Chain A
Amino acid sequence: AQSVTQPDIHITVSEGASLELRCNYSYGATPYLFWYVQSPGQGLQLLLKYFSGDTLVQGIKGFEAEFKRSQSSFNLRKPSVHWSDAAEYFCAVGAYSGAGSYQLTFGKGTKLSVIP
């Protein structure tokens, strides 16, 4: 079965600083990878996704992520963080379960705090 690990529970950065959120996955084949952002009390918004092709993917709000097969990683980056980026970030892997159904498996999330 697939799994997702986000090693950092909480990260604090200063506004304007760069950001990298880590994500590692476990899956036997090439997975479909996603990053979502969740503001308090809200649903999930898709930041970016990787299905195939170029391993560096661009998303909304200035985010990008790089798929590294050798490291089973899909880290999220942003060169300059804005105060409005403070939220919870979830990495997810889409894959087929043992029962043959396609589903998303989420990491536990990383809470991002931004210092003005």
Chain B
Amino acid sequence: GAVVSQHPSWVICKSGTSVKIECRSLDFQATTMFWYRQFPKQSLMLMATSNEGSKATYEQGVEKDKFLINHASLTLSTLTVTSAHPEDSSFYICSGRPGLAGGGALYEQFFGPGTRLTVL
């Protein structure tokens, strides 16, 4: 199956600093990428959807100025948590969807391994 990588796997930062998480589709072109947040022992909550070359669409309640998403190419999306605070500590997971334009099934998503963010 298609492979999605995330970097870093885990990161610890001080409160007030910014952290960038990369999501890469390694063997397919992801026309759409999704970012999810998962709290301990809870489900995945969609944060935002981004299409290559377009601004991300954020879900209700997600601060777009705090969680900056860039999808500059068909294989790379980044999530930057700006001025991170302890409440931003979470497990962040990205996924990529090839879509018909990308040669894949429209409704399939491939998930990355996740990034554990801890803000001290």
Docked-complex contact B114 and A49, CB < 8 angstroms: no
Which 3 residue pairs of A and B lie closest in terms of their CB atoms, listed nearest first? A43-B113, A44-B111, A106-B43
Is the pair B116, A103 in contact by a Cβ cutoff of 8 Å?
Answer: no
Give the size of the chain A interface in residues (CB under 8 angstroms): 23
A43 touches B107 (CB 8 A): no
B112 → chain A closest CB, angstroms: 5
What's the minimum C-beta distance from A54 to chain B, rounded to whole angstroms?
17
Q: B93 at interface (Cβ–Cβ under 8 A)?
A: yes
Main secondary structure of the interface of A (DSSP, over half): strand
- Rounded to whole angstroms, the CA-CA distance of A106 and B43 in the bound complex is 7
Contacts of B72 in A (CB 8 A): none
B91 partner residues in chain A, CB cutoff 8 A: 41
Taking CB atoms, residues of chain A closer than 8 Å to B110 are 46
Which single member of B1, B42, B106, B109 contacts A104 (CB below 8 Å)?
B109
Tell me if A43 and B114 are in contact (CB < 8 A). yes
Given A41-B116, A44-B111, residue A102 in contact with residue B106 (CB < 8 A): yes
- Measured CB to CB, the nearest residue on chain A to B112 is A43
| Residue numbers in A under 8 Å from B108 (CB-CB) | 46, 49
Give chain B residues whose Cβ lies under 8 Å from the Cβ of A106: 43-44
Residues of B within 8 A of A36 (CB): 111
- Alpha-carbon separation in the docked complex, A107 to B109 (Å): 16
Which A71-116 residues have a C-beta within 8 angstroms of B?
90, 94, 99, 101-109, 111
* Residues in B neighbouring A70, C-beta threshold 8 A: none
Q: Inside 8 A of B107's CB, which chain A residues have their CB?
A: 32, 51, 94, 102
